[in-house]
Structure 1
């Protein structure tokens, strides 16, 4: 079966009942015994004397999408002829930096076709994008098929609640079990493990392909950063002498592209530089590649006596490398604004002390028509455009 996972907007799908039902002839028996030294806890798969059925109708509060108590809920699903046949919903547990799967359902007719796996992969992708330390979910000890499925997807038992549903959950053999999935801990690469060099013409396609992978669905549906790389190389403001790519075992895993920029104060124009994109292949993100590229090229720029760098970037990343918001430098955007994502750094102490005014980058950053981007996308393998939390539009 071919199917497409789509975002389920809250304004349309809020209150939709998720009809989770299942029949089971097995259960995980949970026992908690007090001992002289503490507690003995066990969970063991056993057989029911006869099959047990659970349906939405037996609960006073059936599962629904976008319940009010899930403040940051986000849902995807699969539609067949306009009918919802599968769905997953997540909620950001901000205080603990975890992502909770609040709903996961596949209609019986469509089970065992890979849909459940694909939906879980959506949650894993969201967790990766948001740098969550874990994905967590709950299921019942009698929902053996779900428990086995979650374990197959890499989840492990992390806890239980023996009175979540009723006060006799242990006796009823329906105990809430919590499962968790943890992203692989990535080892930071050191400078000796990668090659940082200027790109050659033979690198162009792979640099753009890597850039597309790094930004796809990050800020918008799809992305245009790979097309920006293509156009930037042809622009008068491009600085190839500062721009670099990162290569590991023959694979291009990162790049940073520099260009001329300026700060204008009335009739005074101050030449500075900016970079963008700075990106890393998704499987190598979190390994320090971007920081290695940035620190090495900042030294190059300082040696060439550039005074400073101004960027639009992620405010939770660049400050730890030394970037500050531009109000510290009396620099605003072209519209006269300042905000957390608008940052700068001096390449030498006090090198931007005499610079103030409005920041302007190359016009190439604003000249990326959607129709041109779509045409350029035909040069690369087709990727699905998907909605994720945090996109700008």
Structure 2
């Protein structure tokens, strides 16, 4: 079937009961025995004497979307004829940098059509974007179909609670099982493994396609950074002599684009530089490609005598490269503001000590009309626009 996964806003869907109901003739029997050397735990699939049904009606606390104890919950769903037929909800476990799936449900009529898999993929994509170290979830030992489904989706058993629901969960054959999924650990690339060079006209399409993949649905629905790359090449402020792409196995996996910028203080104008976008193909993110591009081009800029770089960027990333918030340099945005994502870097010792004022980048960064972006998107394979936590609008 054709379907669309949509975000379910909290203000509309909070308190919606999820009618999770299932009937099973099997269960995973959990036994815990004390031994001389510790404990022996055995989990074995067995048959019930007769089918068992579980439904929301038997619970004092039925499953609901956006329950108060899930403070950072975010939900998606699938609608058919204005009826919710499937949903997934996640919540950030900030202290451990894990993502918890708090709800997952597909109406019985629509099961085994790939919807559950697609919803799990949404959670995996969220975890990748937020760089979570794991996804975790809870199910019951008697929900055999769910246990088997999660294993098929790459989850593995990570723990259990033998008295989560009642004190006789072991006897009732309804033990809470915790499952976890772990993103693939990525190996950092060294300089010898990546070709870093200026782009050629033959690279243009692949650089823009890679940029689109890197930013798609990151800050907004879709993105416009690939169109920015296209327009930046034609702009008078573009600095191709500093800009570089990263190539591995003849595939463009990253790029950094530099342009002229200025800091204005009354009658005084100070020439500096900025970069953007700096991006990496999603499958190569976390491998150090961005840092390789950045460090190599910063050295190029320093060798050419540029004094400093000012950017709008991710405050969790750039400070470890040496960037500082611009209040350290007496520089503000054009409207006089400072914030964590507004950062600068001196390309030589104290090279920006005499620079102060308001920062201005090329007008090309704001001259990206949505209708032009949509028209430009037709050059590339169609991508789905999806809502994720942390988007700006």
Using structure 2 for the length normalisation, give the TM-score: 0.99
How much has 1:134 moved relative to structure 2?
A: 0.2
How far does residue 37 in structure 1 lie from its aligned partner after superposition?
2.0
Partner of residue 345, structure 1:
345
- CA distance in 1 between counterparts of 2:278 and 2:324 reads 18
Q: CA deviation at 1:390?
A: 0.3
Partner of 1:62: 62
Larger CA deviation: 117-126 vs 35-44: 35-44
- Which digits, 9 at most, give the CA deviation of each residue in 1:274-305, with x for residues without a partner? 00000000000000000000000001000100
Q: Determine whether 1:189 maps to 2:189.
A: yes
Kindly report which structure 2 residues correspond to 1:184-333, keeping only aligned pairs within 5 A, or say none. Answer: 184-333=184-333
Structure 2: distance between partners of 1:294 and 1:37:
54
Matched, 1:373 2:373: yes
1:136 aligns to what? Answer: 136
Alignment of 1:13 with 2:10, yes or no, is: no
- Does residue 168 (structure 1) correspond to residue 168 (structure 2)? The answer is yes
Q: Any idea what the Cα deviations from partners look like across 1:86-127, whole Å, max 9, x if unmatched?
A: 000000001110000000000011101100000000000000
**What is the Cα deviation at residue 191 of structure 1?**
0.5
* 2:31 match: secondary structure: strand
Counterpart check, 1:93 vs 2:93: yes
Superposed CA deviations along residues 144-189 of structure 1, whole A, max 9, x for unmatched, are: 0000000000000000000000000000000000000000000000
**Matched residue, 2:150:** 150
Return the offset for 1:33.
1.1
In the aligned structure 2, how far is the partner of 1:187 from the partner of 1:273? 32
Distance 1:65 1:336 in 2: 41
Report Cα offsets for 1:42-92 as digits up to 9, x if no partner: 111111111111111111111011111100000001101111000000000
Is structure 2 residue 82 aligned with structure 1 residue 82? yes
Matched residue SS, 1:147: helix
> Which whole-Å CA distance do the structure 2 matches of 1:205 and 1:7 have between them?
31
Q: Deviations over 1:181-208 (max 9, x none)?
A: 0000000001111100000111111100
Q: Tell me the secondary structure at the aligned position of residue 203 of structure 2.
A: helix
What is the root-mean-square deviation in Å for CA atoms of aligned residues?
0.6
Separation of aligned partners in 2, 1:364 and 1:134? 39
- Structure 2 distance, partners of 1:308, 1:15, is 51
Count of matched residue positions in the alignment of Structure 1 and Structure 2: 393
The CA distance in 1 between the partners of 2:37 and 2:185, in whole Å, is 35
Question: What is the distance in 2 between the residues matched to 1:38 and 1:110?
Answer: 45
Residue 26 of structure 2: aligned partner: 26
Measure, in 2, the Cα distance between the counterparts of 1:336 and 1:66. 38
Structure 1 consecutive aligned stretches of length 4 or more whose deviation exceeds 4 Å: none
Q: Distance in 2 between matches of 1:390 and 1:4?
A: 21
Structure 2: runs of 5+ lacking an equivalent: none
How far the C-alpha of 1:219 sits from its partner, in A, is 0.3
The yes-or-no answer on 1:115 pairing with 2:115 is yes
